[in-house]
Amino acid sequence: MDTTNDKKQPDAGADLPRRRFLNSTAAAGVALGAATLVGCKQEPQAAAPAAGAAPAAPAAAAAHAAGDGGHLKPGQLDEYYGLWSGGHSGEVRVLGLPSGREIKRIPVFNRCALTGWGSTNESKAIIGTKPDGSMKYTVGDTHHVHASYTDGTYNGKYAWVNDKINSRLARIRLDYMVCDKITQLPNIQGFHGVFPDKRDPVDPKINHTTRVFCGSEFSIPLPNTGKDAADPTKYHSLFTCVDAETMAVRWQVLIDGNCDLTATSYDGKLAATNQYNTEMGAKYEDMMSAERDACVFFHVARIEQAVKDGKFKTYGDSKVPVVDGTKAANKDAKTALTGYVPVPKNPHGVNASPDGKYFICAGKLSPTATVIDLAEVLKWFDGGVDDLKKTIAAEVELGLGPLHTAFDGRGNAFTTLFLDSQVVKWNVDKAIAFFKGDKNAKYIVDRLDVQYQPGHLNASMSETKEADGKYLNVGCKFSKDRFLPVGPLHPENEQLIDISGEKMKLLSDHPCWPEPHDFIIVKRNKIKTSQVNKLEEHPLAIKDIKDSRVERKGNKVTVFIGSLAPAFGLRDFKVKKGDEVTIILTNLDKIEDLGHGFAIPNHDVNFIVNPQETASVTFKADKAGVFWCYCTHFCHALHLEMRSRMIVEG
Ligand code: K7E
Ligand code: CUA
Ligand code: CA
């Protein structure tokens, strides 16, 4: 196993950070007067006053996973972060790989009782609210997680995830691993594929992600007023570009057919979406009537020039410029904004090979993969290729129900076969040679049965220039008999495969709570997290526990309250029945892993504040009485004693 990166790891190779951690914890204990706890010298972990804060992992070399099935010994750290979509749970999850351990859940479009996501004012401001202050939407369906790039590889800044139900794009800041922005996409339904660009298509100095591309799966009448439901010519799908920093929608492209998955080229010039419903059918029989659908290519620079030149429309209330990417409007390749490469049949998935040369579409209803040569597509846009069919470098048989493709960086592709319950490993160059007529080119390298019916798969660092060909994870849609039975609702089965050799080796099964779709596997040194918030990030943070106070304006009461283990800054506070109460809680503890919670009985209030974080909730004090507000998050030997009293005067 390659351990060269470990030297750069703050978390590996030395026990220094752990010592520093324990010292600071102990010091805090002294400061809090909890130093009387015995046993500190013999058992620093057990006696640390912040019991919940005991570090779980002594610094360790990463696991020699390929040798022992991905199993890590206690205290060993994983080599990769896995960023997993949570499907219609609406969340994103963080797994460690190769162990498959779930390390974190990031609430995004869902509510989370633990963190207070969806009930704090801060999270509601991100999610969006109705005029009465309640969350605008409370459900979401996340399919695809992709992260920001610099120079063709992950830069650890952001990840994005789609919401198929309510047409939203969310961003996760990877330093805290929390959602920080959500954008509503106009004019569309069934937002499915998402992929950031990898560099700017015109300015060579901009070598990082600045745009996020979003495909919409369902066609709807435009504008969607309910009048044109019976007129199929009014139904359209749009391809959307969102600004990676501001998260504002930049532009949309009207297309023929629909969008599914999304991919981007390494030079930033092209984005693409595969289409399974070029027929524009409303019923599945119609959607599968054509022999070929397509992969639509978007010429990003030309689209942005068209927007600049004012060649766009808007629809309904939306101010977003929509350019015309339909076939009829783009017949001349030299000025075309879009190009439609014909691909058999109801393709699912489009993936960019790490050498930057090809996009690969899997056939789903055709047993084939189609390899599209990006240099040829660019030539077509310049008028040098007369037919987009000629950009197809290979169309080869793989097996039944091909869906998604990953890469090992050594010229091999791995494609899931949903119907065959297999992963097939195939060599891209040999597939091209075979397609060109070399019937001796054996492009299938290996096949591995998986359990069962795989959807997405991804390899470590797969869609980056640093694809390292170590691990492949396969998201199996059905676990059936692989885990202890838990009643009718089964988990899915994530299977980890060693792809370092010629043959694939199944390493382990991990149950995954429904229902992940896509995921990425990111080398751990690409992501640098902060374990402590910055106090100044919240404008209403109090700086000192003594600043805890109650302010009243009419019947609106604001309670500023600090938390410093093992006490809240106010042992009690008084409000009147009928008041609208806002609790603004600042965690003044500075120590890693020393979070506090705040729950108010019979008021449906519960949220947490991480070290140096501030969060707030607003509610109506509609019952007179005494209510013990308590810390829900285990923080200290006196965690149970950490309380405040809300006295509501009748
Ligand atoms: Cu990426 Cu599951 Cu939305 Cu394929 S989709 S399986
Ligand atoms: Cu503070 Cu538990
Ligand atoms: Ca079709």
In the structure, which protein residues have their CB atom closer than 6 angstroms to any atom of ligand 1?
143-144, 192, 261, 348-349, 403-404, 455-456, 517-518
The mean per-residue pLDDT over the stretch 44-63 comes to 38
pLDDT band at 68 (very low <50, low <70, confident <90, very high): low
Query: How many angstroms does the Cα of residue 261 sit away from the middle of ligand 3?
Result: 14
| Pairing mode, strands 211-218 and 168-173 | unpaired
pLDDT band at 65 (very low <50, low <70, confident <90, very high): very low
Nearest CA to ligand 2 atom 1: 596
H or E element: which one contains 19?
Answer: helix 16-31
Q: Is residue 620 part of a domain?
A: yes
Q: How far apart are CA 533 and CA 188, in angstroms?
A: 36
pLDDT band at 563 (very low <50, low <70, confident <90, very high): very high
Q: What is the pLDDT of residue 71?
A: 84
Find how far residue 366's CA is from the centre of its chain.
29
CA-wise closest residue to 212 among 279, 144, 166, 151: 144
Do 288 and 296 touch, CB atoms closer than 8 A? no
Q: What is the pLDDT of residue 45?
A: 38
DSSP string, 78-104: PSEEEEEE-BTT--EEEEEETTTEEEE
Beta carbon of 456 within 6 Å of any ligand 2 atom: no
Beta carbon of 634 within 6 Å of any ligand 2 atom: yes
Q: How far apart are CA 298 and CA 336, in angstroms?
A: 9
> Roughly how many angstroms between the first and final C-alpha of the chain, as a whole number?
68
Query: How many angstroms does the Cα of residue 340 sit away from the middle of ligand 3?
Result: 14
Query: How many angstroms does the Cα of residue 328 sit away from the middle of ligand 3?
Result: 19
The pLDDT mean for the chain works out to: 91
Whether residue 204 is preceded by a cis peptide bond, meaning omega within 30 degrees of 0, is no
Q: How far apart are CA 459 and CA 453, in angstroms?
A: 18
Find how far residue 594's CA is from the centre of its chain.
26
pLDDT at 555 over 50: yes
Q: What is the pLDDT of residue 30?
A: 37
What total of structural domains would you count in the chain? 1
pLDDT at 615 over 60: yes
Q: Is residue 118 part of a domain?
A: no
DSSP state of 549: E
Beta carbon of 588 within 6 Å of any ligand 2 atom: no
CATH number at residue 551: 2.60.40.420
Can you tell me which atom of ligand 2 is nearest the CA of 563? 1
Q: Is residue 259 part of a domain?
A: no
pTM listed for this prediction: 0.90
Nearest CA to ligand 1 atom 2: 517
Beta carbon of 600 within 6 Å of any ligand 2 atom: no
CA-wise closest residue to 200 among 212, 213, 209, 191: 209
DSSP string, 201-222: SS-TT--B--EEEEEEEE-EES
Can you tell me which atom of ligand 1 is nearest the CA of 455? 6
Query: How many angstroms does the Cα of residue 188 sit away from the middle of ligand 3?
Result: 20
Q: How many CA atoms lie within 13 A of 621 on its CB side?
A: 26
Neighbouring residues of 392: CB distance < 8 A, sequence distance ≥ 6: 341, 370, 371, 372, 373
Q: Is residue 591 part of a domain?
A: yes
pLDDT band at 56 (very low <50, low <70, confident <90, very high): very low
Query: How many angstroms does the Cα of residue 287 sit away from the middle of ligand 3?
Result: 4
Q: Is residue 3 part of a domain?
A: no
Q: Counting ligands in written order, which one lies closest to the CA of residue 261?
A: 1
Neighbouring residues of 493: CB distance < 8 A, sequence distance ≥ 6: 451, 452, 476, 478, 479, 482, 483, 509, 510, 511, 512
DSSP string, 551-586: EEETTEEEEEEEEETTEES-SEEEEETT-EEEEEEE
**Inter-CA distances, 173 with 102, 157, 161, 268, 440, Å:** 19, 6, 12, 22, 49
Q: Counting ligands in written order, which one lies closest to the CA of residue 281?
A: 3
Listed residues: CB within 5 A of ion ligand 3: 276, 287, 293, 346
Can you tell me which atom of ligand 1 is nearest the CA of 517? 2
Domain containing 622 equals 535-649
Q: Is residue 273 part of a domain?
A: no
Cα-based angle 97, 98, 102 (whole degrees, multiple of 5): 45
Query: How many angstroms does the Cα of residue 630 sit away from the middle of ligand 2?
Result: 8
pLDDT at 636 over 80: yes
Q: Is residue 28 part of a domain?
A: no
Neighbouring residues of 156: CB distance < 8 A, sequence distance ≥ 6: 147, 148, 174, 522, 526, 527, 528
Can you tell me which atom of ligand 2 is nearest the CA of 52? 2
Q: What is the pLDDT of residue 70?
A: 74
Output 256 or 21, whichever has higher pLDDT.
256
**Inter-CA distances, 433 with 220, 371, 423, Å:** 42, 12, 22
> Quick one: 461 exposed, middle or buried, by C-beta within 10 A (0-12, 13-18, 19+)?
buried
Q: Is residue 540 part of a domain?
A: yes
Each residue's pLDDT tens digit, 505-526: 999 999 999 999 999 999 999 9
Each residue's pLDDT tens digit, 579-614: 999 999 999 999 999 999 999 999 999 999 999 999
Number of neighbouring beta carbons within 10 Å of residue 400? 16
% of residues, the chain, pLDDT over 90: 88
Query: How many angstroms does the Cα of residue 282 sit away from the middle of ligand 3?
Result: 11
Q: What is the pLDDT of residue 21?
A: 41
pLDDT at 6 over 90: no
